[in-house]
Amino acid sequence: MQRTLSILAVLMLLPLLPLMPVQAQVEAPSWEIGWESNVEDGVILTLDGNRWTVSHTLGIWVANNRPFELEVEVELELPSDAPLEAEIDSPITVAANANVTVEITLTGTTADEVRAFAPASVMVLTVTATEASQTNSGSTQEIEADLELPRVHRLEPNVPQTPSPFDAGTWIEMTVEINNMGNSRDAVIEAKSEVRSCPQLSVLGLDELAGTVVEPTDVGGQAPAEAVLRLEASSSHPERTCEIRIIIISEGDGSSRSTTFDVDVKAADPEDVVGDVNDVGTSDPSSSDDDSPMPLPSSVLISAVFLAFLRGPRRPENF
C-alpha cells in the first residue's frame, strides 16, 4: 500500500517538472530603459528665435535588475531632414541591481536650416540600447519621443531707402518693407505712424497694410512684403528735419515693432504761396484776376496832363 502511494505521488509530480525551468526563465532578472523626461504629449524644443539656436536636454534611465554589471551601447536616430543633432555618452555601465540616468543633448544644425524647418512638424527621436555585458546576449530595447520646434512670430517694418528732401506744399512717395523674421506665416493687424516736430506733415497709405499676409522672409527665396506710402507737407510747413516712426502690430504674437527715419522738408517761398496755406500742391505765382483793370502808372498821367496844357486854346492875333 505504501509503495502504491509513493508511485502515485511520483506520477503526480511528473507534469510539473518541465514547467520549473520555464518559470525560472520568465522570472529571471533583466534590464530595461525608459524616459526620465516627460515625453508623453510630445516635446516642444527650447529655441532662441533671435539667433535660431536649439538647446534642449532629455533624460533617460537604464535599470539593471541582474546580480551582475550591465553595459549597453546607445544609438540615437533622427529623420534625415531634421535640423537637429543629438548626442549621448555611450556606452552606459550600470552596476548590479542599480539604475542610472543619462542626458541626451539636442542642438540645432545651422540657423538657416532651423528657421526654414516647418514649426509643429513632428521629428521622431529613436533611442536604441543594445546589451554588451558579460552575458553577451545582445538583447535590444528601444524608446521614442516626438520632437517639435515652436512657432516664432516677428514682423519688422523697414525703410530700404530714406526719402529725398521735398518742398512744403508738395508730396512724395516712399516704400516701406514688412519683413517676417519668424518661422511661420504672419499678418499685419494694424499699421500706424508717429511724426515728431512736424505736425503739418501727413503719412498716407498705412491703412492699406492692415490684413497683409507675410510669409517668412528669405526662406525659400521669399521676398518681404512692400507698400507705397505718401508723405504730404502743407504749404506753410517750416523748413525742418522730421522724424517719422512706422509701427506695425503682428497677428501672430500681438507685438508691435517699429522703424524710424528722417526726412527733410524745405520751406516754400512766401511769394509762391497762393490761397490756403494748408493746401498741398504746386503754386503758380503768376496767377491773378484777368478781369481787373490795369492801373496806369503815375508817370503816364503826368505826361497826358502836360500835353493837354500845350494843346489848349490860343488867343487870336490882332492885325
Say yes or no: domain 155-272 is CATH 2.60.40.10.
Answer: yes
Determine the topology of domain 27-148 in CATH.
Immunoglobulin-like (2.60.40)
DSSP string covering 25-44, please?
HHTS--EEEEESS--TT-EE
Q: What pLDDT score does 29 carry?
A: 54
| Averaged pLDDT for residues 260-287 | 63
Q: What pLDDT score does 11 carry?
A: 53
Give first-to-last CA distance, the chain, whole Å.
211
- The answer, yes or no, to whether residue 256 has pLDDT greater than 70, is yes
- The answer, yes or no, to whether residue 38 has pLDDT greater than 90, is yes
- The answer, yes or no, to whether residue 102 has pLDDT greater than 90, is yes
C-alpha cell at 173: 512717395
| H/E segment holding residue 305 | helix 298-310
Length of the chain: 319
Instruction: Specify the pairing of strand 256-266 against strand 166-167.
Output: parallel
CATH 2.60.40.10 intervals, the chain: 27-148, 155-272
Q: How far is CA 174 from CA 41, 202, 290, 310, in A?
A: 49, 13, 39, 71
- The answer, yes or no, to whether residue 25 has pLDDT greater than 70, is no
Radius of gyration from C-alpha coordinates of the chain: 45
Q: Answer whether the bond into residue 91 is a cis peptide, omega within 30°.
A: yes
The CB density around residue 87, as the number of other CB atoms within 10 Å, is 11
pLDDT band at residue 117 using 50, 70 and 90 as cut-offs: very high
| Averaged pLDDT for residues 116-129 | 96
| Averaged pLDDT for residues 273-302 | 44
| CA–CA dist 82, 117 (Å, integer) | 8
Q: What pLDDT score does 316 carry?
A: 43
